[in-house]
Structure 1
Amino acid sequence: MPRYLSMVRINENEMSGEDFPEDFNERMGKLLEEITKAGVMLDTAGLTPTAEGTRVSWSDGKVSYTDGPFTESKEVVGGYALMQCKDKAEALEWTKRFLEIHPENWNITCELRELAEG
């Protein structure tokens, strides 16, 4: 079965811990339990803020390092889910359900891509 990576893209400047609804963790926990029991979820996690990250670049035969935060970035990957689904339609359905748990006033994008196998 194909594997899919859903990269959760957020504007971390618009997000704060105070913005999470009271029942958010409970609803997210139920969805994660359901997707795990269905045998779909292989791994998932949120990521630390870009202020704690480092970009490693390769250019002109040299490696360079840039410590965060990355102020030029409006949108960053804030988390991911690695899923094994029967097809892209199933992966899209789980991704849709994940997004629907979030408050309507939030702006979140999930980029869903199949892993290249072989």
Structure 2
Amino acid sequence: MRFMIIVKATKDSEAGVMPPENLLAEMASYHEELQKAGMLLEGSGLQPSAKGWRIRYSGDKRSVVDGPFAETKELIAGYTLIQAKSREEAMEWTRRFPNPTIDGVECEIEVRQLFELEDFAPGEAIERLRELDVCFEKQPPDASAV
């Protein structure tokens, strides 16, 4: 089971304020523990939305909307992707996630389970996705390599 830990954006992250060394150290320690446990798949911070864009759909038409985007509570500042044996194991690890804000103020992270190919009815499209091997069923890094 794969889960994404979603760190929500703040005014600081949207302003491009870099986290202090102590927060980076906490995050590094947490991610090292995940890696040693064989659970870490990926993790990264995201640049401010001013450097991004959205694609808006209207039927078959598409338009580009450049950032920044005004409502920070709808934005993501970073993520960590883990693989756990159960929802309970994922919850146990996410409770240990460091407070991601620069000054330790009240905030929240969001955790969402990812779909696996087995969650969908069998079919040609699912087999095509399985052959791509890019977005589903990734195995965690070898914990013994750490």
What TM-score results when the alignment is normalised by the length of structure 2? 0.68
Unmatched runs of 5 consecutive residues or more in structure 2: 118-146
Aligned to 1:23: 22
Number of corresponding residues: 113
2:72 to 71, 74, 79: 74
Q: RCO (CA 8 Å, sep 6+): is it higher in 1 or 2? A: 1
Matching of residues 46-61 of structure 1 within 5 Å: 46-61=45-60
What SS does structure 2 have at the residue aligned with 1:78? strand
**Deviation of residue 26 (structure 1)?**
1.9
- Pick the structure with more strand per residue: 1
Separation in structure 1 between the aligned mates of residue 100 and residue 54 of structure 2, nearest angstrom: 31
Separation in structure 1 between the aligned mates of residue 24 and residue 86 of structure 2, nearest angstrom: 28
**Deviation of residue 95 (structure 1)?**
1.6
What SS does structure 2 have at the residue aligned with 1:24? helix
Aligned to 2:125: none
Aligned to 1:64: 63
Separation in structure 2 between the aligned mates of residue 113 and residue 98 of structure 1, nearest angstrom: 14
RMSD: 2.0
**Deviation of residue 91 (structure 1)?**
1.2
- Pick the structure with more helix per residue: 2
Give the structure with higher Rg (CA).
2
Tell me: CA distance 1:111–1:101, structure 2 relative to 1, closer, same or farther (3 Å).
Answer: closer
What are the superposed Cα offsets for residues 59-107 of structure 1, whole Å, 9 maximum, x if unpaired? 1321011110012x13110011111001111112222211347567424
Separation in structure 2 between the aligned mates of residue 70 and residue 114 of structure 1, nearest angstrom: 26
Amino acid at match of 1:70: F
Amino acid at match of 1:74: T
Unmatched runs of 5 consecutive residues or more in structure 1: none
Aligned to 2:109: 110
Contact kept? 1:7, 1:81, Cα under 8 Å: yes
